[in-house]
Structure 1
């Protein structure tokens, strides 16, 4: 094995400018607080950019010898993607809608055909054309007016998730003069095809704080506010029911929610509260022909399904339809005229339950032990057909149409892996690691046949573990570049996600957050014990809150990992949660705690990666961020890397890559993001001594 010879280049040294933080009688000196100045437009703004650029230059010098490998990996990754492709059309209100991509183009075209797929194509938006001249371009929230004549959509060309809403006249092909800045990019049409509702954002904190109403032909600056959220821990949004009859305003924090509503044909009516917010009660609503369904955790940790009459929506009138079960989490309800589909989760796996208006029901059989199944795009209310998505670690993403009446299942499309892919060459497994408190933590693995379980195989362990977000086992053509070079890829379904039910999430947040980190460590140790890998070949990767996970586990068990990739990592937890001017901070108090509370402060300080760097050896580390990131600001990873450089005692590699053009999700194009994956893989392969 020929290890990559890392160049002998001197890393940047960030200046130390001590800043003291005193709270709850605890004083902490932060030598790198000044790096916030680019965000705050402070006096050290230019110095911050100079440091970030110096880190980028250092990374380029250190990875110089992998340039050919990176280029080869990029071509390999891109080569598996079908360049000329088309989504499966969905039908709504007289039109088939779909998107398609062309060879050599980074973006897609959003199209429709009237009545029949043999009708002439209308290109509604050509994103390749619109994105010209922009290093980043994201369009979202496509919303067709009920009369089918107008298209409203949101555009962000900075990558801070601040969208300007534009409206296109589909008869003339021209944009109308209305443009609505600083929104969530979520336009919703009233029934008159002349009124739009949207979510406006605070320009600094980026909180969703107002729902406004826009009439075509008026100035956006004069748009009336129809709802303003006073609680800064709540996210708000506006959406339309699938039937088209209602417009809903959702307000939700981690632990409680509230819905307001109007009839879509009465855009000037006042929104009425469905059920006022109640501590620790979450609910969402689904209107049927003759009643509302309510999915709620009211006295039901894993949620239950209830119903109420149209005129009596407060919880005193809610009646149970599907009771609470300790072993089954109810996640989502999709409504049709004659059916409802309930997405459930049992033993960490998704199930789709079909129920007709008479109450008769059945489950879809998927036929594999570990998989991901999810309700797809089903915009047409008057349909007997359910569109769902299916994948596993060896099954490419597949789109099915399922006749809910006859139970006939039709494969509409399966992701094509260009160059060929034979699923029989790969093995997927579902294992359980025992955490230090005895909890059984699921693991999903995939590797190429012929793997010797002698501890010498490289293994990449991935996880997220926050916000109740379940990280399901799914197919990735990109992973093949690792699997075909002898890697095992594993996902740890750790607490903080919701794979095993709501309790799984509750046990991995707030004052139980350490469970998340310990679970991941115990999964790594289990994989070593079972001889899938060893500490010399074990790698870890996570992004955002999963980047916090990476920072925590290298503080807790630095010797367990040979290399770690931390993407856009949330690593300066205490300082960020103390600063309510930083985007998203107040929304997150129910997830992490509010450090103005002494107990919460001391607990989060005990695991915050930045606060817990010590004089000791750390594993090889690649850290990535984006200068315009609105979710985790650039200064968190920048400070973390600077402090690690000044403190750690090893000679292992420490690299920071800041994308100067993009934000949290990286590049917006169809292929540009593959360059980041190629860099990540080149880092891992170089550490493993695999040069091609």
Structure 2
């Protein structure tokens, strides 16, 4: 073969790794040194190989990019959201890669009707607060971290990352003068929260393992060192913070995968001490909001602790008087048929977010006129006609808002933003996402089927296709999967997916165990020593789609990213014959090397998800048996596209690079294994919508060619 069509051969330097009497010789561990010129040269050679292998797809990529762009209203604006004395919104402009954040004054205190959305005209009194295009100028990568406006509307705190490593520089802008204050904080994590008096700004930093662990208070205008407010010493815990919706409390939350502790501080005393709300009990998770119920202040707690009748596995909701924790009582009891996820508190409403039958839903309790606490029967579900859809709260920053902003989408319906009048049930459509061209939802059909796992468990599989496609004839099909961290893969509309659907490709999602679609037990059955269920569930979904006649192995492409990339690596080893191609983005495919080394970023906090192989032989052996990198063998692997980012701090590029080297060396199928590295991107790939569209076009073109939907 010509040299350009031959994968680069990586050198081998044996690096034995021995734990619990097991020795694994890693020939490619030398790739961990990101400063080694040979590592850079190897990645660049792999990129050249990818370019050569996919050169015939260039026109298809151009066509898909143009399709995405032609369907997108480039000059547009979001629905304005009221906060304080202003309407806030985001503008996009044709030819510009990033959003422009703006505001305009409201007409009066009683004005709750947002200005009409107009993409190409400024609203009266419009003020540009932050133009990310200007901030990104001169940088190959740009991401906005914090974006927080003080309660009086005077100050903007924002942070930027121009590398992709999720380390941000925090700045403060005077929105009256447009000037930047000298207050600058380097190397922060992503968020920032103002005190109510706008004199103090709270932010996060990370430890040496890049774990958010410390909350700081910066006093605006002060040259004194910032005050350390809270530091979490336990390496399993990740720290977050923010204000309650009522703006009466500042909250700090320290959480591992299985345990939570929340702290509160009255906004009236922003330099005071945070106090624990419900303590820390191993294995008990909870979230907290502040509410005013029956004329008194309460903390509303969503938790999976003991209810007196056993553990609230799928979570329950308690109300605890702020001044009397001993009077805590349950208002929404645990029920096995739905998983409570959150409660949002407003002056006149409580909004329960939950999931049932593998779908996200919301229900609302009206508090007006109540003299007692609400109960489960007081929450009224918000229903839509589409069977497979996602419903959730939109942006609702105002505690006293008379209406609720909600969002709706499905596999075939572009996102809708609505205002809901709780008292009447009336809904006002504020905006439906625009899909330019002749898009008609009736041209597409979304259905759900159920695969049967090896242990008899029924696995939901969502499928969307063109209505005129013949489901009885095997068609090209893209099967997505994730299955970790209790993260759910919910129905949602994708402009990019249209480039597959309109070429006859069906798009399916396997809702495998390890995700949260079917409740907490669904998650528990796909983690730790039950992790293999995630992989066998995905294989069962693929087998079901083949046996039911939806597709055939040569037309079936698997797709997953990050922890879903581990899923892709595992099924590639377990059942390579089921797939014509596998796409793995920023794949976590070398879990043992990572999880065995506590000095690597985010390692210790992962022990609650995957297990601790460093101190437990059984866990080590279990992960060793499925870890994609260690288990690469001489197998007929399908064509593979592996995507990684050089600056990614969540899943290091090293994992993908090592894995690709072993696959290229071991595959017996003759099908190419491609490693494409984004040298100026983070965990989410490149930044800016045009570069993201280019990347999407690259992936979609590869999928179309490998599935046989389009000739290479």
Question: Smaller-chain TM-score range?
Answer: over 0.9
Match of 1:351 in 2: 361
Provide closer, same or farther for how the CA distance between residues 219 and 575 of structure 1 changes in structure 2, counting only shifts above 3 A: farther
Contact 1:473 1:491 in 2 (8 A): no
Match of 2:219 in 1: 215
Asked if residue 627 in structure 1 is aligned to residue 639 in structure 2, the reply is: no
Match of 2:111 in 1: none
Aligned partner (choices 253, 260, 263) of residue 260 of structure 1: 263
Shift of 1:356: 1.7
Match of 1:301 in 2: 313
Shift of 1:8: 7.3
Shift of 1:418: 1.2
Aligned partner (choices 184, 193, 216) of residue 189 of structure 2: 184
Contact 2:588 2:651 in 1 (8 A): yes
Provide closer, same or farther for how the CA distance between residues 72 and 528 of structure 1 changes in structure 2, counting only shifts above 3 A: same
Contact 1:460 1:538 in 2 (8 A): yes
Aligned partner (choices 325, 338, 346) of residue 348 of structure 2: 338
Shift of 1:663: 1.2
Aligned partner (choices 648, 662, 670) of residue 651 of structure 1: 670
Query: In structure 2, what is the Cα distance between the partners aligned to 1:191 and 1:454?
Result: 61
Match of 2:545 in 1: 527
Q: Deviations over 1:611-638 (max 9, x none)?
A: 1101111000000000000110000000
What SS does the corresponding residue of 2:629 show, helix, strand or coil?
A: helix
Shift of 1:347: 0.8
Match of 1:639 in 2: 658
What SS does the corresponding residue of 2:437 show, helix, strand or coil?
A: coil
Query: In structure 1, what is the Cα distance between the partners aligned to 2:18 and 2:249?
Result: 50
Query: In structure 2, what is the Cα distance between the partners aligned to 1:287 and 1:193?
Result: 20
Contact 2:516 2:523 in 1 (8 A): yes
Shift of 1:115: 1.5
Q: Deviations over 1:404-460 (max 9, x none)?
A: 111111111111111121111111101111111111111111111222234531000
Contact 1:7 1:61 in 2 (8 A): no
Structure 1 stretch displaced more, 108-117 or 404-413: 108-117
Contact 1:188 1:198 in 2 (8 A): yes
Correspondences of 1:658-669 after superposition (within 5 Å): 658-669=677-688
Asked if residue 417 in structure 1 is aligned to residue 439 in structure 2, the reply is: no
Match of 2:691 in 1: 672
Cα RMSD (Å): 1.5
Match of 2:308 in 1: none
Contact 1:152 1:166 in 2 (8 A): yes
Match of 2:97 in 1: 106
Contact 1:384 1:405 in 2 (8 A): no
What SS does the corresponding residue of 2:677 show, helix, strand or coil?
A: strand
Match of 2:578 in 1: 560
Asked if residue 21 in structure 1 is aligned to residue 17 in structure 2, the reply is: yes
Q: Is there any run of 5+ residues in structure 1 with no aligned partner, and where?
A: none
Q: Deviations over 1:128-180 (max 9, x none)?
A: 11111111111132111122110001111111111111100001101101111
Structure 1 residue ranges, 4+ long, deviating more than 4 angstroms after superposition? 5-8
What SS does the corresponding residue of 1:609 show, helix, strand or coil?
A: coil
Q: Is there any run of 5+ residues in structure 2 with no aligned partner, and where?
A: 108-114, 116-122, 306-310
Match of 1:95 in 2: 86
Q: Deviations over 1:504-531 (max 9, x none)?
A: 0111111100000000000000000110
Correspondences of 1:67-146 after superposition (within 5 Å): 67-116=58-107, 117=115, 119-146=124-151
Aligned length: 679
Q: Deviations over 1:97-124 (max 9, x none)?
A: 1001011111111011112346410110
Correspondences of 1:477-556 after superposition (within 5 Å): 477-556=495-574
Shift of 1:687: 2.2
Asked if residue 274 in structure 1 is aligned to residue 277 in structure 2, the reply is: yes
Correspondences of 1:465-476 after superposition (within 5 Å): 465-476=483-494
Provide closer, same or farther for how the CA distance between residues 28 and 361 of structure 1 changes in structure 2, counting only shifts above 3 A: closer
Contact 2:4 2:49 in 1 (8 A): no
Contact 2:14 2:26 in 1 (8 A): yes
What SS does the corresponding residue of 2:17 show, helix, strand or coil?
A: strand
Q: Deviations over 1:282-340 (max 9, x none)?
A: 11111112211111111200000101111133xx5421101000111001111110110
Contact 1:107 1:670 in 2 (8 A): yes
Query: In structure 2, what is the Cα distance between the partners aligned to 1:547 and 1:10?
Result: 24
Asked if residue 614 in structure 1 is aligned to residue 633 in structure 2, the reply is: yes
Match of 1:11 in 2: 7
Match of 2:228 in 1: 225
Query: In structure 1, what is the Cα distance between the partners aligned to 2:387 and 2:704?
Result: 31
Query: In structure 2, what is the Cα distance between the partners aligned to 1:504 and 1:361?
Result: 25
Contact 2:147 2:157 in 1 (8 A): yes
Query: In structure 2, what is the Cα distance between the partners aligned to 1:616 and 1:6?
Result: 24
Match of 1:34 in 2: 30
Query: In structure 2, what is the Cα distance between the partners aligned to 1:691 and 1:126?
Result: 42
Query: In structure 1, what is the Cα distance between the partners aligned to 2:481 and 2:407?
Result: 22
Match of 2:599 in 1: 581
Match of 1:329 in 2: 339
Correspondences of 1:373-522 after superposition (within 5 Å): 373-522=391-540
Shift of 1:242: 1.2
What SS does the corresponding residue of 1:632 show, helix, strand or coil?
A: coil
Q: TM-score, normalised by structure 1?
A: 0.96
Shift of 1:496: 0.6
Shift of 1:361: 3.5
Aligned partner (choices 604, 612, 634) of residue 594 of structure 1: 612
Query: In structure 2, what is the Cα distance between the partners aligned to 1:345 and 1:643?
Result: 41
Shift of 1:7: 9.5
What SS does the corresponding residue of 2:277 show, helix, strand or coil?
A: strand
Contact 1:239 1:249 in 2 (8 A): yes
Query: In structure 2, what is the Cα distance between the partners aligned to 1:329 and 1:384?
Result: 28
Query: In structure 2, what is the Cα distance between the partners aligned to 1:611 and 1:404?
Result: 55
Q: Deviations over 1:197-250 (max 9, x none)?
A: 111112x42110111110112348x21211110111111011001111100011
Match of 2:323 in 1: 311
Structure 1 stretch displaced more, 399-408 or 628-637: 399-408
Q: Deviations over 1:264-286 (max 9, x none)?
A: 12111111111211011111111
Contact 2:557 2:706 in 1 (8 A): no
Shift of 1:583: 1.4
Query: In structure 1, what is the Cα distance between the partners aligned to 2:383 and 2:6?
Result: 58
Match of 2:246 in 1: 243
Shift of 1:691: 4.0
What SS does the corresponding residue of 1:612 show, helix, strand or coil?
A: coil
Contact 1:454 1:533 in 2 (8 A): no
Q: TM-score, normalised by structure 2?
A: 0.94
